[in-house]
Amino acid sequence: MKISTVGIVGAGQMGNGIAHVFALSGYQVLLNDIAQEGLDKAMATIRKNLDRQVSKKTISQGDMDATLARITTTLALEDLGQCDLVIEAATEREEIKNAIFEKLQPHLKPTTILTSNTSSISITRLASRTDRPEKFMGFHFMNPVPVMQLVELIRGIATDEATYQTLLSVVESLGKISASAEDFPGFIVNRILVPMINEAVYTLYEGVGSVTSIDQSLKLGANQPMGPLELADFIGLDTCLAIMNVLYDGLADTKYRPCPLLTKYVEAGWLGRKTKRGFYDYRGETPVPTR
Sequence ranges of the domains in the chain:
5-182, 191-289
CATH number for the region 5-182 comes to 3.40.50.720
Asked if residue 1 has pLDDT above 90, the reply is no
Q: Which entry of 32, 49, 119, 120 is annotated as an active-site residue?
A: 119
Asked if residue 152 has pLDDT above 90, the reply is yes
Matching fold, domains 5-182 and 191-289: no
Q: Which entry of 20, 94, 120, 152 is annotated as an active-site residue?
A: 152
- pLDDT score of 92: 85
pLDDT band at 33 (very low <50, low <70, confident <90, very high): very high
3-state secondary structure 162-227: HHHHHHHHHHHHCCCEEEEECCCCCCCHHHHHHHHHHHHHHHHHCCCCCHHHHHHHHHHHCCCCCC
Binding positions for NAD(+): 10-15, 33, 92, 97, 119, 143, 274
- pLDDT score of 262: 98
CATH of 191-289, one of 1.10.275.10, 2.40.50.140, 3.30.420.40, 1.10.1040.10: 1.10.1040.10
Residue 190 falls in the annotated catalytic set: yes
Residue 210 falls in the annotated catalytic set: no
pLDDT band at 23 (very low <50, low <70, confident <90, very high): very high
Overall average pLDDT of the 249-254 stretch: 94
Sheet with 150-155, edge to edge strand ranges: 71-74, 28-32, 5-9, 85-88, 113-116, 136-141, 150-155, 177-181
pLDDT band at 120 (very low <50, low <70, confident <90, very high): confident
Cα 99 to the center of its chain, rounded Å: 18
Overall average pLDDT of the 163-190 stretch: 97
Say if residue 182 is exposed, middle or buried (CB neighbours under 10 Å; 0-12, 13-18, 19+). exposed
Q: Which entry of 32, 88, 122, 140 is annotated as an active-site residue?
A: 140
Q: Which entry of 117, 190, 198, 230 is annotated as an active-site residue?
A: 190
Residue 119 falls in the annotated catalytic set: yes
- pLDDT score of 85: 98
Binding positions: 10-15, 33, 92, 97, 119, 143, 274
Asked if residue 133 has pLDDT above 90, the reply is yes
